[in-house]
Amino acid sequence: MKVRELIKSFKPYEWEPSRKEIAEKIGIPEEEVLRFDLNTVPFRPEEILRALSEKLPSLPVNEYPDPSYRELREALSEYLKVDPENIMVTVGADEALDIMAKTFIDPGTLALVSAPTYSMYRITVEALGGKIVEVLRNPDFSDNMEALIEQSRKPETRMVFLCSPNNPTGNLTPQEDAVRLLESVDCAVMVDEAYAEFSGTSLVNLAEKHENLMVVRTFSKAFALAGVRIGYVVASRETIELLNKVRPPNSVSVTSLALAKIALEKADFFLSKAREITAERERFSKALSRIEGLTVYPSHANFLLVRFEKTDALKVYMELLGRGIVVRRLSGTMLENCLRITVLDKAANDKLLDALKEILGGKG
Ligand code: PMP
């Protein structure tokens, strides 16, 4: 087959093994596997599933969804306090990234990432023949704004990818830094706010004012709908119009649209769950940092970045996996010997704490 040259050596997204694979490998039931690697919330939104089941018999599944996803955009408009014309609905945040890359990246052009960060930015840009420039964060993981501004002024730079709270470091891009970047450069600036509900801050209110800002959000995290695949972009009308030119017209299913709409009607419930998770994050973080030889970084999201000072992180990862506990391995500059741990409920988090104490022998 005549495959594109760049695909031959393409480095794909790396997942941890599935629940089933892990359960089979270590010989435990699937439901006993504890997944601290997915950054999802530890509950199923049963009430909204029941509400959907009542609506199912009348869902017009024989027809395509309204390609503008108007109803969900109107519900989002109320939730976010922005105009529906500033919103585009996508299949998870990941489809939003793809649509942006298709809008801005020509082969050979550059996109900046504030590294380390979420690896899909690289994948979406490189798949189109664009080049990623990693602008390394400062030692405290804050964005190196001076370097980002300098690099984005190059004529070949088309996009800047920021992530706030950043996956995997957990820190925020302060609003004044984002505004400084937006006002200093004329390329597109994407701010990924997949975890915004856990931080209580957002830049969506800046989207109408700054034409080069695109904020990406998702129902996968605080809204407990990762399996449903719904995300959205908030941007100026002009930018939304550009993105809509290459957006597939019907990629979001009518069932997903219905579920997301029901979830928004119960937004207060999900936001209060997010507050519970952030309170648990603080307890969990303190307990982890009491383990010797372990550094826990501050986080504004539903996960924690930890660094093992004296033990090989891969060894810890394998030992945990053997106990049915999956955490996220990380690689790359600034993340040496680090693992990323999702904040689950207290009982699960305590199991991880006990396992770590056992593995590190109280010493780390
Ligand atoms: N952005 C970030 C920073 C993420 O961590 C993730 C998922 N882990 C995504 C986007 C993808 O989200 P979605 O499920 O909405 O595609």
309-353 pLDDT, tens digit each: 999 999 999 999 999 999 999 998 999 999 999 999 999 999 999
Residue 49 in contact with residue 159, Cβ under 8 Å?
no
231 CB near ligand 1 (under 6 Å): yes
- pTM score of the predicted model: 0.97
Report how far ligand 1's centroid is from the alpha carbon of 177 (Å): 23
38 CB near ligand 1 (under 6 Å): no
Give me the pLDDT at residue 38, please.
96
Mean pLDDT score, 54-70 = 97
10 has a pLDDT exceeding 80 = yes
Mean pLDDT score, 289-308 = 97
Could you tell me the pLDDT band of residue 15, with boundaries at 50, 70 and 90? confident
263 CB near ligand 1 (under 6 Å): no
How much is the mean pLDDT over the chain? 96
More confident residue, 197 or 13: 197
Mean pLDDT score, 212-224 = 98
Share of the chain above pLDDT 90, in %: 95
Q: Give the burial string for 168-202 (b: 16+ CB within 10 Å, else e).
A: bbbbbbeeebbeebbeebebbbbbbbbbbbbbeeb
Report how far ligand 1's centroid is from the alpha carbon of 15 (Å): 13
Report how far ligand 1's centroid is from the alpha carbon of 340 (Å): 15
363 has a pLDDT exceeding 70 = no
User: What is the rounded CA–CA span in Å between residue 98 and residue 123?
Assistant: 9
